[in-house]
Amino acid sequence: MLRFKPKRRVVFLALLILVVVFFFKFGSTDASPPLEHLNILQRRKQYSNSIQVKENDNLESKCVSYFRQMSKLNRPGLEEQFSHEHDGLLFKKTKWLREAGRIYRKETRRKHQRFAENYELLLLEKFYKKSAEASRLEEGFVNDMAHMRAFGKCFLENTKSLSRQAKLCEKATSTLLPFLSGELPRIDFCGSSPDSSVRSDDLCFVKSLMRMDQGDGIVIPILPRGSRSQQLVRAIRMIKVLRATNNTLPIEIVMMDDKPVRKDLKDDLISAAKRDDMKVPESYLRYLGKSSKEKVDLPKQNIRFVYLERAIDKRFFTLSDPLTMTLAPLLCSFQRAIVLSTQTIPLTRDFLHVLDSSDVKNHGTKFYKSRAIQEQKLTKYPPGYFETNDLVNQLADVGSNETLAFGVKRSRNSFTKRVRSESYTQLLDTSMFVVDKSKALSGLLISAALHYYPIIRAKYDFRNDNFESLWLGQELAGNIEYVPFNPHFAIAAGLLTPPENVQVGPPSRELCSSSWAQLSEVDDTTLLLVTTHQIENRVLPDFNVALKEKYSTKTTSSEVDYTIHEQKLKRNPLRIETLLRPIVVDERIYNRDQLVELPWVQESSFGSSDDYWCAYDIVGTTSSPNRGVVTDLNEEQQLWYNSLIEIWLSSSHQQSSSMVSYE
C-alpha cells in the first residue's frame, strides 16, 4: 500500500482537482469553446459575403442563384439586430474594462457584497463575448446591405424577373424586410370611392407597392412625438395656402398609428380643402388685382388620410418621428411625392416644376439642406463614432464584387460628405423633399431598414431627431451617381435688423428669425417655402416684446420709434422683405474687427425662445471678398409671399372652435 507524506498528499489532491476542473470546463463535448480574444477592427478584415454568382450569367439567373443561396445562410435576423444594445466602448478594450469595473464595484458595494476574487477575469471574458457578438452583427449588417442592393437590382429594377420569380421575391422580402407586414396601409378616402385593391396573392409585396403608385401628390406626415392636434391644425392652414397657390395635386395626410383623426379636426380639414367661400386677406386680393367684392375661385383639394400601422409588423412597430418621415413616402399612394412638414408654408406658385426637375427625373429624389450652422459639427464624439463611420463608409457601401455581379456603383458623396466625412450631425431639412418611387424605391427600403440596426447608432442614431437615413439609404442603394440636394443651404428671410440694433455694429447686416426659408436654384429671389417657427413663438412669454425692441429705432428727440413693429410685425411676425444667404464656413473666423466669427449666431433666450438665429453677410473681416448675399425683394414678390403667410395666419373662424388661432 502506497503511503504519501502529508505535503505530497496535498499537492496530489490539488493536481487532481485541477484535472477535474479542466475536464469539466474544456473536456466535455457540450461545453462552449474558449472565447477568442477578438478585436473587432481586426476581425473586420475577414468580413465577406459568401454568396457567389457567375459573372457571365444573365441577370435573372444571377438573381435566382443569389437569393437561393441567401435563403440557406445562417445570418442574424433583423429582429435580433433590432434588439441588440450596442456599446461603442467595445472598440477600446482598456476603457471598456475600466468602465465595467467601476460599475461592478459600485453595484457590489451598493448591495453590501464582497468583490469576487476573479471579477477582473470575468469582466475580461464578458468583454470578449460582447465583442464577438458585436462583430457578428456588424458582419450581418454589412452583408444585409449587399443583399438589399441585390434585391433592388433583381426585383425592383428588373420587372420581368419580378413577375417570374414572385415567390423568390416574397421570400427575400420576408427575410430582408420583415418590418413590412405584407399589408397595405389603411386609407380613409373621405367619402370618395377608393381605387380597387392592388394587393394580389400572386404578387411579391414590393410589386404591390409599385402598383399602388398613382401619379403625383403631396404627402404631409403627422409625427408621433408631437401634438397630433397641433400638427393637424397646421395642416389645415397649409391646405388653405396650397389652395391659394392653385395646387391641383392630391394630398395624403399620413399617420403612423391607426388612431382615427378626431372628427372635428377631420371636418375642419375637409372644409379647408373644399369650402367654396374660403376667405382670403386683402393683400392676396391686391396681388390678384381684385377688389374685396369680387369672388376668388380657389381649386378644391383632394385629401385623404393614410394610417401606416397595419403595414408594419408588430415586432418592429415603433412611434418614431424619423421612421414616420421615412415610411410616409414609401407607403403613400403616389409614385412621385412632394413631402411637406406641417411646419412648412409653401411659397412656390407651381409645385409641378419641382417634380419635373432634372434631379428628380435622373436620380429619383431631391433634398434640401438645413441651415449651415457650425453648432451642428461635433466637438465631442460618442464612443465608437469613428469606428462606426468607417463601417458604414467602407464596408457597408458598394463593393467591387457587387459592381461586377450586378452593376451597382458607389455614389459620389458630393453633398453628403458634410455628414459622412466632416462630423456634422445634420444636413437634411425635412421641411420639403421630393421622391420618385420608380427610381428611389430601393433606397427608400434601405432607409427604412437602417432604423433597425442599433449596431450603427454610435454614428447614426435614428431614434429621435436624426432624419439623415432618407438620403443615406439612397446612397447605399448603389443605383444613382449621387444624391441630389438643392445647392443652397437654408437661408434667412424677413426684415433686416435696424443698423443701430445690430449687435456687432455696422457694416455687417443682420437678419434674425426663428424660421428659415428654402431658395429655389433658379434665381436668388424665388422662395419655395418658409417655416412657421417664428409665428408659433408668439405664444411664448415676452417674445412679442423682444421682437418689438429688436426693431425699434431712436428718433432725433431720443424717443423710441416702434413703427416697424406696429405696421409690419405685429400683424405678421414673419413678414418677408429681404433675403440673406450667408456664406458657409468650416470653422470660426477669428478677427480684430469686432465682427461676428460665424455666419449664423444663436441669440439665446430671445423672448423665452431658444431657436432664434441671426444671419450675417460679413463674417470675420470687412476685407474678406467672401460675403453673404443680401437681396431686397421687389413689391410684387413681397406681396405674394406675405399674402400667403397671412392666409396661414388668418383667423380660424371658418373652422370649428377647437382650432388654435394665432391672431
Cβ–Cβ < 8 Å for 431, 529: yes
Q: In angstroms, what CA-CA distances link 93 with 97, 101, 133, 246, 516?
A: 6, 12, 15, 61, 45
The tens digit of pLDDT for each residue in 479-497 reads: 999 999 999 999 999 999 9
Q: Which of 637, 621, 551 is nearest to 583 (CA)?
A: 621
Quick check: is 288 in a domain? no
Residue ranges of the chain with per-residue pLDDT less than 50: 1-4, 24, 26-33, 196-198, 653-663
C-alpha cell read off for 112: 453590501
* Share of residues in the chain with pLDDT > 70 (%): 89
Quick check: is 233 in a domain? no
Q: What is the pLDDT of residue 1?
A: 44
Q: What is the pLDDT of residue 306?
A: 97
Long-range contacts of 262-268 (CB under 8 A, 24+ apart): 262/229, 262/232, 264/656, 264/658, 265/229, 265/232, 265/233, 265/236, 265/656, 265/658, 266/190, 266/305, 267/655, 267/656, 268/232, 268/233, 268/236, 268/655, 268/656, 268/658, 268/659
Q: What is the pLDDT of residue 157?
A: 85
Q: What is the pLDDT of residue 193?
A: 53
Quick check: is 496 in a domain? yes
Model's pTM, two decimal places?
A: 0.90
Q: Which of 304, 337, 326 is nearest to 216 (CA)?
A: 337
The tens digit of pLDDT for each residue in 220-271 reads: 999 999 899 999 999 999 999 999 999 999 999 999 999 999 999 999 999 9
Q: How many Cα neighbours within 13 Å face the side chain of 484?
A: 19
Preceding omega of 33 cis (within 30 degrees of 0) = no
Question: How far is 395 from 352, CA to CA, in rounded Å?
Answer: 39
| 109 Cβ contact partners less than 8 Å away, ≥ 6 residues apart | none
Residue after which a domain boundary falls, among 178, 193, 213:
178
Backbone angles phi, psi at 267, to 5 degrees: -60, -40
User: What are residue 519's DSSP bridge partners?
Assistant: 527
Residue after which a domain boundary falls, among 147, 178, 209:
178
Residue whose entry in the numeric block shows the C-alpha cell 458585436: 134
Residue after which a domain boundary falls, among 178, 212, 235:
178
State how many domains the chain has. 2
Q: Is 344 helix (H, G, I), strand (E, B) or coil?
A: strand
Question: How far is 441 from 473, CA to CA, in rounded Å?
Answer: 10
Q: What is the pLDDT of residue 15?
A: 60
Burial of residue 199, with CB atoms counted within 10 A of its CB: 0-12 exposed, 13-18 middle, 19 or more buried = middle
What is the C-alpha radius of gyration for the chain, rounded to an integer number of angstroms?
30
Its domain, for residue 94, covers 59-178
Quick check: is 456 in a domain? no
Q: What is the pLDDT of residue 652?
A: 56
Q: What is the pLDDT of residue 199?
A: 53
Quick check: is 517 in a domain? yes
Question: How far is 339 from 94, CA to CA, in rounded Å?
Answer: 47
Q: What is the pLDDT of residue 373?
A: 96
Quick check: is 659 in a domain? no
- At 366, the amino acid letter reads K
Q: What is the pLDDT of residue 660?
A: 47
Q: Is the dihedral of CA 81, 85, 90, 91 positive or negative?
A: positive
Quick check: is 267 in a domain? no
What is the biggest distance separating any 2 CA atoms in the chain, rounded to whole angstroms?
A: 126
Residue whose entry in the numeric block shows the C-alpha cell 445562417: 74
C-alpha cell read off for 460: 447614426
Q: What is the pLDDT of residue 504?
A: 79
Quick check: is 392 in a domain? no
